[in-house]
Structure 1
Amino acid sequence: MAAQHWLESLRAAKKTCLLQDGRRKVHYLFSDGKEMAEEYDHKSHELLVRKWRQKSSFGAYGEWQTEVGEASLPVAGALQTDFLKENSSNPVFMRTDTKSSFRWRIRNLPYPKEVYSVTVDGKERCCVVRTTNKKYYKKFAVPDLDRCQLDLDESSLRFAHANNTLIITYQKPKEILAVEEELQKELKSMKSSSEGDVECKTQ
C-alpha cells in the first residue's frame, strides 16, 4: 500500500527537531538525499509549513521549494520594497492546511463567486481553477495524494470566496488521515531542543 510505504519512508528518514516560537520544527533527511522541513503549531499540531529541497547532479543543494505555507520573499531592502509594489495586486497562491482538509488560498481575486469554477483533471492529476471572464486560470497538484498514489475525487472538492480571496478545500482521504495520525504519534514522542537542532529519537 502506497500510503503505508510513505509512512515508512518518513519513519526511516533521519530527523531533527526544534521547539521555537510556539512551533515544532522537524527536518527530514531521506536516504535518496532529499530534505523536507516541516513546522507544526505546538499546541494544535496543525501543519504550518512544508518545504523541500534536493541536491543537484553536481552535489549542491538547490533552493527550498514551499509546498505548504507562504514562500519567503526577497530579503534585500530596496529590492523587497520594489517587489511588493510591483506585485501587490497580483493573485497570491498559497496552501494552508487544516487537520481534516488540504486548503489553498488565492488572494487578490476580486470577482464574485459565480465567476469561478474549480474542477479535477484526473488525467493530469491536478485541480483546475477557471473564471468565466477568463481573468484567471491555474492548475495545481496535490503532492500528498501523489506520494500515496491516491486518485483525486471531485466530490471532496469545495470552494468559497470572501474578501477578494478564493478558498479551496479538499477533504483528506482516510488513508492520508491515518498516515498523519501515526506520524503525529511519533513526533510527539521525539526529544526536542529549545535551543538548537538535535537528533530526534526515531522508531
Structure 2
Amino acid sequence: MAVQSWQESLKAARKTSLLQEGRRKVHYLFPDGKEMAEEYDMKTCELLVRKWRQKNTLGAPGQWQVEVGEPAPSPTVVLDTDHIKESSSNPIFMRKDTKSSFQWRIRNLPYPKDVYTVTVDQTERCCIIRTSNKKYYKKFSVPDLDRMQLPLDSSALNFSHANNTLIITYQKPKEVLAVEEELQKELKKMKASTDGDVDCKTQ
C-alpha cells in the first residue's frame, strides 16, 4: 500500500469519534472489514493508542492487537502445580510515539548504553536490537512505513538509555507527517460523541 492508497483507505474508512477523559477516541471500519481504534491526547493531538483487529475465519471479531501504547497484559500462565508466571523483570517492549518520531521503549534492560546496537535491515524491512553480552535480541517492523511502502532509513534511527529503559527513536519521514496532518484536520471536522455511546456496527 503506497502513501496515496493508505491515505485513500483512511478516507474511505467509516469513522466514529468519541471525546472522553481528555482523549479523542476514533474507531475506523475499513471496507475489507478490518477495524482500527486510535486514541489521541486532545491538547497535543499526540497518538496515545493504536490497535487493530480483524474477523476470524468464522466471521467473529478477533482479539485487538496493540500497535501503539501499553501492551495488553498477558494472561498469567499456570503450569500444573508449579505456579509459573511471567517474571515482572522481563523486558517490556512498547511503542509510544511523539509528534515528530516513532518511539519504542524497552523497560527492564539494565545494561549500559554501549552494550546495545540498533540497526536497520532493508531486506527484512525491520529494525534489530542486539546486545554485545547476548542478553537481549529483538526484531521489530515499522507498520506505518510498511503501509505506505516507504524505505527504512538508518540515518533516521537513534537510541538512548536511562532508568533501565532503552528508548529507540525513528524520525518520521515527511510523507508520514503529511498524512498525519491531513488526518488530524479531518478528525477535527468530525462530529464527536461525548456521551460514551458510539455506534461502531457495520451498516
Structure 1 partner of 2:30: 30
Structure 2 partner of 1:51: 51
Q: How does 1:29-178 map to 2 (within 5 A)?
A: 29-73=29-73, 86-178=86-178
Confirm or deny: 8 A CA contact 1:192 1:198 kept in the other structure. no
Separation in 1, partners of 2:110, 2:36: 34
Secondary structure of 1:9's aligned partner: helix
Unaligned ranges ≥5, structure 2:
77-82
1:73 shift after superposition: 1.9
1:75 shift after superposition: 7.8
Write the deviation string for residues 79-129 of structure 1: whole angstroms up to 9, x where unpaired.
Answer: xxx89x742100000000000000000000000000000000000000000
AA paired with 2:33? G
Write the deviation string for residues 109-166 of structure 1: whole angstroms up to 9, x where unpaired.
Answer: 0000000000000000000000000000000000000000001000000000000000
Secondary structure of 1:119's aligned partner: strand
RMSD across aligned C-alpha pairs, in angstroms? 2.0
Q: 4+ residue stretches of structure 1 with deviation over 3 A?
A: 197-200
Change (3 A) 1:102 1:184: same
Separation in 2, partners of 1:117, 1:68: 23
Secondary structure of 1:72's aligned partner: coil
Structure 1 partner of 2:18: 18
Write the deviation string for residues 6-50 of structure 1: whole angstroms up to 9, x where unpaired.
Answer: 111111100111000100000000000000000000110000000
Confirm or deny: 8 A CA contact 1:15 1:199 kept in the other structure. no
Secondary structure of 2:11's aligned partner: helix
Secondary structure of 1:87's aligned partner: coil
Q: When you count helix as a share of all residues, which structure comes out higher?
A: 1
AA paired with 1:146? D
Confirm or deny: 8 A CA contact 1:118 1:128 kept in the other structure. yes
Separation in 2, partners of 1:86, 1:146: 31
1:60 shift after superposition: 1.0
Unaligned ranges ≥5, structure 1:
77-81
Separation in 2, partners of 1:74, 1:121: 29
AA paired with 1:28? Y
Separation in 1, partners of 2:67, 2:73: 15
Structure 2 partner of 1:195: 195
TM-score (norm 2): 0.91
Confirm or deny: 8 A CA contact 1:16 1:197 kept in the other structure. no
Confirm or deny: 8 A CA contact 1:128 1:138 kept in the other structure. yes
AA paired with 1:70? E
